[in-house]
Amino acid sequence: MKRGAFVAAAAGAAFVMGVGPAMAGTDAIARTEDAGWGGWAAFVSNGDRLDVCDTRADGKRVRGELLYITSTGSYRRVAEDANGANNSCASKSGDIPEGTRVTVRVCLKDGPNGREEFCATKRGGVA
């Protein structure tokens, strides 16, 4: 009986204090707009990570960006997969406040200073 009262009291306190279950994030993926999708960039909400992967042996690299705005400013996280197709992907992670909406942008590039091409953007990710 005492245990049930304690659980009920703790649940009531959590409700009053606005404590609830952790929000589930939403992943988002963008694929380059070239024929055959030369690469992709993805926001992975579990770990607040940007993954970028080159998927076609076309001599180009894949550049991904994660864009988001918080109460302290706007942020851009960038990663490039420059080691060729079907090798390891690039990744960048860091803490993003829960519930923050993110946008993923991906492009192909011809070399480190090449111009971006076949870019695509995906909105709708949530940290």
pLDDT, one tens digit per residue, over 34-70 is: 988 899 999 999 999 999 999 999 999 999 999 999 9
Q: Which domain covers residue 93, as residue numbers?
A: 25-126
pLDDT of 21 over the 60 cut: no
Q: What is the pTM of this model?
A: 0.79
| Contacts of 54 by beta carbon, 8 Å cutoff, 6+ apart | 38, 39, 60, 61, 62, 81, 82, 83, 84, 85, 86, 87, 89
Predicted pLDDT at 36: 83
Question: Domain for residue 3, yes or no?
Answer: no
Residue 17: band (very low, low, confident or very high) from pLDDT cuts 50, 70, 90? very low
CATH number at 74 reads 2.60.40
Q: How many structural domains are present in the chain?
A: 1
Predicted pLDDT at 22: 55
